[in-house]
Structure 1
Amino acid sequence: MSSENQPRDRRKKWPAAELVIFDCDGVLVDSEKIAVKVDVDVLAALGWPLTEEEIVERFVGRSFADMTADIERYLGRALPDGWDTPYRRLYREAFERELTPVDGVVEALDALTLPSCVASSTSHAGLRHTLGLTGLYERFAGRVFSAADVARGKPAPDLFLHAARSLGVEPARCLVVEDSRYGVEAARAAGMRSYGYYGGLTPAAWLEGPDTTVFDDMRKLPGLLGS
């Protein structure tokens, strides 16, 4: 059950929010639907045939390093440095053809009154590219954090704690907007409230849990954050 639907007297008492932490892929930019299709071809070429649904369940929300480690475990061998180089063009070209902001997120950002930042499993170069393609990068310039900045990616809390610490905000005063089970798990581990968006690839049931509000329309987000 989401916290949105819990009786008010059962909700945890939180201090006033001071920061909204956005995931990027699937929350700000509608990249996951595009990337998963490319992932199918890349993994098949490596020798691990997976469906789109299996890729969503295994990898959406996780870092490139974690994905690489899983591939190596499946294949039973280490991948060479730069193994992904031949495939990067496929993602880049697909994003340049098709990438848009998540439906309703521009309106949500325009209505947001709290300070905000990005904390994503994507690399800094990838974040500059996708946020730049969609015209969102300047909204977060100087406040973009990547899993490359920390030792452990989601579902560990490290990235969200790093973002909060860098901006001088206590974890309990942070609100995290995520679309993956690994993301909401990381927010809970960090001691932060989370808002799970299920308007993309992730089913609502994967996001539901303690201190999490699930929603399916980005236009509703400012009102949910205010409540």
Structure 2
Amino acid sequence: MSDVYLTHLISDCDGVLVDSESVTLFSLLKQLRPYVPADTPLVALIQPRQGQNFETLLTGVFLELGLAPPAPDVCAAIRQGVETDCDRLQRAVPGVLRALAAINMPKAVASNNTGARVRSALERTGMAPLFGGRVFTPDLVGHAKPHPGLYLAAAAAFGVPPGQCLVLEDSVTGVTAAVAAGMTVLGFIGGGHVAAGQEARLKTAGALLVFNDMARLPALVAAVMDTAAV
């Protein structure tokens, strides 16, 4: 038997709990268009960066286009537009509330979004009670993914070694952070924003398994826990 057991669950928010990444992509296409050349292939620039924190994503897109990094007021205006669209359009990932309720593990959220935005999304979708206020974000922790700090902070708050934590992630950025923290990761590709080839990218980043239907999650978690205990 192994000395390490998976006892706690940590989940990303956007794209795993809340199907907001597809809304964010739609909104970013609209918000960025006035700032870039008309023929810019924005989808191809944005999709690989989803999961990064907002300013990093915008700066990366601008620099790849040979433009100066966006000024703070531009970032703020784009963020406001995206947040307005997310408030209006985002929904819980189908089946996620039932799946999480069936998993008897303490749970936390680690997200590159702001604490206020994550808590608002959890409240709107009815998932807040499942996490008991355990939300870890860069504005609270001081680190954003792919740095492992968010995941390490969640494990520390639980009072368990990082190796006892199982993580749900949908982005290479997030998988990279969780793996660097020494955690086991399940990759989710059932959101509306997933680009072709994402399963392979998540596995390359270190995801143990990749799945596309939240109805499968309780059984997958049970199987991974059984494997970890051998």
- Interval containing the TM-score (normalised by the shorter chain): 0.7 to 0.9
What percentage of residue pairs aligned between the two structures are identical? 35
**What is aligned with 1:130?**
121
| Aligned residue in 1 for 2:220 | 224
Q: Partners of 1:162 and 1:39 in 2: how far apart?
A: 30
1:1-227 equivalences under 5 Å are 15-47=4-36, 49-57=40-48, 59-71=49-61, 73-74=63-64, 76-200=67-191, 201-202=194-195, 203-209=198-204, 210=206, 212-227=208-223
Instruction: Please tell me whether the aligned partners of residues 184 and 212 of structure 1 are also in contact (alpha carbons under 8 angstroms).
Output: no
Q: What TM-score comes out, normalization by structure 1 length?
A: 0.84
Q: Scaled by the length of structure 2, what TM-score is found?
A: 0.83
Task: Return the alpha-carbon distance in structure 2 between the equivalents of residues 199 and 28 of structure 1.
Answer: 11
Offset of residue 113 of structure 1: 0.3
**Does the CA contact (< 8 Å) of 1:43 and 1:50 recur in 2?**
no
1: distance between equivalents of 2:76 and 2:3? 45
Instruction: Give the deviation of 1:192 after TM superposition.
Output: 0.5
Deviations 1:9-64 (A, max 9, x none): xxxx671112100000000000001110111122222326443243111x211112
- Give the whole-Å Cα distance in 2 for the aligned partners of 1:211 and 1:199: 15
Q: Which amino acid aligns with 1:118?
A: V
User: 1:84 is paired with a residue of what secondary structure?
Assistant: helix
Residue in 2 that maps onto 1:6: none
Q: Distance in 2 between matches of 1:23 and 1:67?
A: 17
Q: Report the number of matched residues.
A: 214
Pairwise CA distance, 1:211: 5.5
Equivalent-residue separation in structure 2 for 1:31 and 1:129 (angstroms): 13
**1: distance between equivalents of 2:51 and 2:83?**
19
Using the TM superposition, give the Cα deviation of residue 125 of structure 1 relative to its aligned residue in structure 2, in angstroms. Answer: 1.9
Contact 1:119 1:160 in 2 (8 A): yes
CA 1:118–1:189 in 2, change beyond 3 Å: closer, same or farther? same
Amino acid at match of 1:44: R
Amino acid at match of 1:221: L
Q: CA deviation at 1:114?
A: 0.5
- Structure 1: where are the runs of 5+ without partners? 1-12
RMSD over aligned CA atoms reads 2.2
Separation of aligned partners in 1, 2:19 and 2:143: 25
Which amino acid is 1:176 matched to? V
Name structure 2 gaps, 5 residues minimum: 224-230
